[in-house]
Amino acid sequence: MALETERLILDEWRVGDWETFRPIATDAEVMRYITGGVPWSDEQVRRFVERQVEMQAERGYCRWRLAKKEDEATIGFCGLGQWREERDPEIGWWLARREWGKGLATEAARAALRDAFERAGVRRVISVARVENAASIRVMEKLGLRREREFELEGLRLVRYGGERA
């Protein structure tokens, strides 16, 4: 299955898509607030994509592969995943740098959230970011998620937002 927005397709991953995600997960700017700028290895990229295929099959949601309608090339991901041991799924987003600042993360996240609540039966989501990641936190706010708590993990300051099905 796939979701559509005005400009985007939120698509299921196929295992072989991992190479289309590699340029994004190895861009130091994209990875700045994820790993401190360290690129993911091929193995990490492959595992991520495999996990999304499994999640979709097991839970009916995942961090969707994002593509623009015009050419369907992978420009990132957006959607729900598992964050550490948290009970509620976490919504997240990574975009190729050339696509930042156009409102695409918010557009994708609105569709992913609606689908999670209305189709997949999710009742509550969280979203976690480093406190320095202003763009990501702004997306959380534009989605209508509420700031719930700030905490420290492995020497990093993190903030958690959350929201329930209306």
Ligand X SMILES: CC(C)(COP(=O)(O)OP(=O)(O)OC[C@H]1O[C@@H](n2cnc3c(N)ncnc32)[C@H](O)[C@@H]1OP(=O)(O)O)[C@@H](O)C(=O)NCCC(=O)NCCS
AA identity, residue 42: D
Max Cα–Cα distance, the chain, nearest Å: 42
The structure tokens listed for 97 are 């740098």
Distance CA(44)–CA(35), nearest Å, equals: 12
Residue list 11-30, contact with ligand X (CB under 6 A) = 30
Q: How far is the CB of 78 from ligand X (least distance, A)?
A: 8
Distance CA(164)–CA(25), nearest Å, equals: 30
CB closer to ligand X, 58 vs 98: 98
Binding flag, residue 106, ligand X (CB under 6 A): yes
CB closer to ligand X, 79 vs 92: 92
Binding flag, residue 75, ligand X (CB under 6 A): no
Residue list 76-95, contact with ligand X (CB under 6 A) = 92-95
Residue in 101, 118, 132, 156 binding ligand X, rule: CB under 6 A? 101
Binding flag, residue 133, ligand X (CB under 6 A): yes
Q: What SS3 class is residue 107?
A: helix
Applying CB under 6 A, the span of 11-19, 45-53, 114-122, 130-138 interacting with ligand X comes to: 130-138
The structure tokens listed for 71 are 């050419």
Residue in 67, 125, 129, 159 binding ligand X, rule: CB under 6 A? 129
Q: Alpha carbon of 123 to those of 53, 115, 158, 163: distances in Å?
A: 22, 11, 23, 9
How many residues bind ligand X (CB under 6 A)? The answer is 21
Q: What SS3 class is residue 50?
A: helix
Binding flag, residue 103, ligand X (CB under 6 A): yes
The H-or-E segment that residue 153 falls in is: strand 146-153
Interacting residue ranges for ligand X, rule: CB under 6 A: 30, 33-34, 92-95, 100-106, 129, 133-136, 138-139
